Amino acid sequence: MKIILDLQIACKNANNLPKKTYFEFWLNQVLSQLQQNTEITIRLVDKLESQTLNLIYRNKNKPTNILSFSYKNSLKFVPLLLGDLVICKQLVIEEAFKQKKLEEAYWAHMVVHGSLHLLGYNHMKKNETKIMESLEINIMKKLGYINPY
């Protein structure tokens, strides 16, 4: 199984971003159970684009740290087009600082969290939240990071 990552850097200040190899490593830990090649896009954006997309797709007029857009199609493509993750650089940095977390670990958590959404997990109900958070904790542990919660 191979993961094809399209990493789009759309933020004005591209300094201090994790390297593409980090994103690939994090994705591999989440998507390793897939049996076929997978393609995913990660777009790193500023607050304005995050807020615009959040308003359009979630009807919330504020930026958010991550948005997940699953690719749904009944046709079977090779590679499987899994979806897109849109991550707001400024919010990741701000939230990591406020929560006293390592930036790298917080970036990893955003990728893990968003990828699980692309696989169909969510946190709309209490039992779903428990399942998703448990997966996140286990994946983060395998990656060498502490419990993100």
Whether 102 is in a domain gets the answer yes
Structural domain including 130 reads 3-143
DSSP-derived pairing of the beta strands 3-9 and 66-70: unpaired
Average confidence (pLDDT) over 94-113: 97
- Residue 75's pLDDT is what? 56
Average confidence (pLDDT) over 92-97: 97
Whether 39 is in a domain gets the answer yes
Model confidence pLDDT, tens digit, residues 41-93: 999 999 999 999 999 999 999 999 999 999 876 556 555 888 999 999 999 99
- Residue 30's pLDDT is what? 92
Token pair 């958590």 in the structure block, residue: 109
Q: Is the pTM of this model over 0.85?
A: yes
CATH of the domain at 57: 3.40.390.30
Average confidence (pLDDT) over 88-113: 97
Whether 21 is in a domain gets the answer yes
Residues 17/43, Cβ–Cβ less than 8 Å:
no
Residues 54/62, Cβ–Cβ less than 8 Å:
yes
Buried b (16+ CB within 10 A) or exposed e, 96-129: beeeebeeebbbbbbbbbbbbbbbebebeeeeee
Whether 9 is in a domain gets the answer yes
* Axis crossing angle, helix 20-31 with helix 103-118, rounded to the nearest 10: 40
Q: What is the mean pLDDT of the chain?
A: 92
Whether 132 is in a domain gets the answer yes
Whether 149 is in a domain gets the answer no
- Residue 79's pLDDT is what? 59
- Residue 71's pLDDT is what? 85
Q: How many structural domains is the chain composed of?
A: 1
